Amino acid sequence: MQIARQPPQHHPHRTTTVNYLPKQRIVRGTRKATTMPVKDRTLTSPNPPGAEPGAVLLETDRLLIRRYVAADAPLLAAAANHPSIGDGLRDRFPSPYGLADAEEFLARHSGPVENRYPIHTGIFVKQGAAASARGGGKEDGGDAGAGAGDDDVNGSTSNRSSSSNSEVAKQQLQYIGALGIMPGDDVEYRTWELGYWLTPTAWGRGYMTEAVRGFTRWAFATWPALHRIEATPFAGNAPSCRLLGKCGFVEEGRRRGAAEKGGVVVDVVVFGLLRGDVEAELTRR
């Protein structure tokens, strides 16, 4: 004899327990992100450059690259106040560039630095070097559009710091432009973006080629974990693109319509220089 199964009876005052969870609708973007431990992504150096104002970072055959001091304001204003410089830079660079702009910039960027990165530095021609300047072509003008703003194949570099601002002042240097980096963050912390500009009266003498080659090789030697330096000039800035190629950068691609400059949408060219590129260059010598 078979007994028919009866459906379960639900007592009005008894809670029914189930052994599964009801399906839930998950709305994309509403899930709470998992908090990951914060990793210190500051690149360290076994031989860090001086952090004080006026510290000399490196020297090439004809140039000295150092941190700024507040007294550089008149030199900076005179060198930067040219429309042709601003044409190749991001709009945060003032144009025209007056003394007040220089003083405001140096008030923020000429003090001691914590991580010792060369974010803002000045390029100076050594005494007597201008008379022996070699031709460098028009490509020494322009800018890669980054933060500023060698072992040089044609010379050597050294890494030293000035002991005081007065020593720097005594060297009778000619200020001609700026060079610096913007460090990456998060997963790109081992990549730095390069920026530079040169006053037009110093174009055509090979100064910027010498500065960029020396600066990038020095940076790789000073920070062993630095893996890549990149630059992103406007596509129409042919002199800057040629300069980067001469300094070993590889043109990697183009970001179409990525920027608007002077009311015109322009392409941005991506150049990269890897530590391995520099090491291979040294091997070929």
Summarize the confidence of residues 57-62 as an average pLDDT.
98
pLDDT at 226 over 80: yes
Amino acid at position 174, single letter: Q
Count of residues in the chain: 285
Q: Which residues contact 130 (CB under 8 A, 6 or more apart)?
A: 62, 174, 205
pLDDT of residue 163: 39
pTM: 0.78
Which of 7 and 148 is assigned the larger pLDDT? 7
The mean pLDDT of the chain is 83
pLDDT value, residue 128:
81
Residue 23 pLDDT more than 60?
A: no
Element (H, E) at 271: strand 264-274
Instruction: Name the pLDDT band for 18 (thresholds 50, 70, 90).
Output: very low
Which amino acid type is present at position 42?
T
Helix (H, G, I), strand (E, B) or coil at 144: coil
- Topology annotation, domain 56-284: Aminopeptidase (3.40.630)
Note the pLDDT tens digit of each residue in 99-144.
Answer: 999 999 999 999 888 889 999 999 999 988 765 555 554 445 444 4
* Parallel, antiparallel or unpaired: strands 174-183 and 191-198: antiparallel
172-220 tens-digit pLDDT: 799 999 999 999 999 999 999 999 999 999 999 999 999 999 999 999 9
